[in-house]
Chains A and B, each alone.
Chain A
Amino acid sequence: MSWFKITLIRSGIGMTERQNNVLKALGLRHRMKTVYHPVSPDTAGMIMKVKELLTVSEVDKPLTQAEIHAKRQPPKGYYVEKQGVVREDIEGS
């Protein structure tokens, strides 16, 4: 089963009520949000209604919201090599 990867590139501000309702149905709450929907005539019809605002591609596997968020994060850039000594006389250590 293939999936549509839909990203809202242009905002829905100033668009008609019908277009904004379609964005709501697709789950696109804000600009640059990415959602995955299965390929079907229903989803295709919704995309066609707001096609000027979207970037669409076809993928095999959908990503969860957590996975999309993790991809966006920059690498931490470090790892803890050695833990410091815990001192009982200092509060909060």
Chain B
Amino acid sequence: MLLLRTTQRSVLRPQVIQIYSFLKSTSSTTPRFSIPILSRTIVTSPHLRISSIPAETPTPISPPSEAPPTVQSDPAPTAHNSLSLLTALNAQPSKYIMVKIQGFTFLVTTGDKVVLPFLLKDVRVGDTLRLTHATTLGSRDYTMKGNPYIDERLFECRATIIEETAEPLRKKEKKKRRTRRTKTVKSKHRYSVLIIKELVINDVPPALATAAGSSTPR
């Protein structure tokens, strides 16, 4: 679980580079991450606009005119010895995190309202939750992937339950052919709504830094 890898943009796989090229070309529109994960009614906050990011932010990336490298096999991501790229990730103005709540993945940032597809039974409205299981931590130029999760000591993600709501009542009529009997099934599923209050990346603890330094890259 301590084996963590930070990948720079230049060594990412081609299909991921494609996504970043898309982001770079449409600088005037709100970015929509086209990552195929299950996410429900996420309302992204306006501070994610690319135009608000200052131009003097150092971006160690290849120019978009360069053709994506044709690779026969997947290039191995660099296992950075001292996790120093994490400070570079932290220095960027906006960050996102992919958290897993009861097995469901959500890509969120601070200020996002997340409507969970279920009701959390052991919490009340107003409670502050600390989200512990993160698969990815990223910013515009850096992505940190967990194996399978990122160490809990490296980040703090807090969310507040703001609502316990329900969908509108829906009725399903079930009827067999050549019969008059109709069965009606009612559904009114209940959902919990969270708001992500903060996403903080901590300094790397010394024990973790030495462990990452001694581990060999795959």
Q: Give residues in A with beta carbon < 8 Å to B.
A: 74-85, 93
Is B161 interfacial (CB 8 A cutoff)?
A: yes
Query: Interface 1/0s, chain B 153-189, versus A by CB < 8 A?
Result: 0000011110000000000000000000000000000
* Among all A-B residue pairs, the 9 with the closest Cβ atoms: A84-B126, A74-B103, A82-B128, A77-B101, A77-B133, A78-B129, A81-B130, A84-B127, A81-B128
Interface centre among A83, A84, A93 (most CB of B within 10 A): A84
Shortest Cβ distance from B131 into A: residue: A78
Shortest Cβ distance from B149 into A: residue: A75
Shortest Cβ distance from A82 into B: residue: B128
Complex Cα distance A77/B128, Å?
A: 13
Shortest Cβ distance from A87 into B: residue: B126
Chain B interface bracket (under 10, 10 to 19, 20 to 34, 35 or more) = 20 to 34
Q: Give residues in B with beta carbon < 8 Å to A.
A: 99-103, 122-133, 158-161
28 contacts between A and B (CB under 8 A): A75-B103, A75-B132, A75-B133, A77-B99, A77-B101, A77-B103, A77-B132, A77-B133, A78-B129, A78-B131, A78-B159, A79-B129, A79-B132, A80-B122, A80-B123, A80-B127, A80-B128, A80-B129, A81-B128, A82-B127, A83-B124, A83-B126, A83-B127, A84-B126, A84-B127, A84-B128, A84-B161, A93-B124
A-B CB contacts (within 8 Å), total count? 50
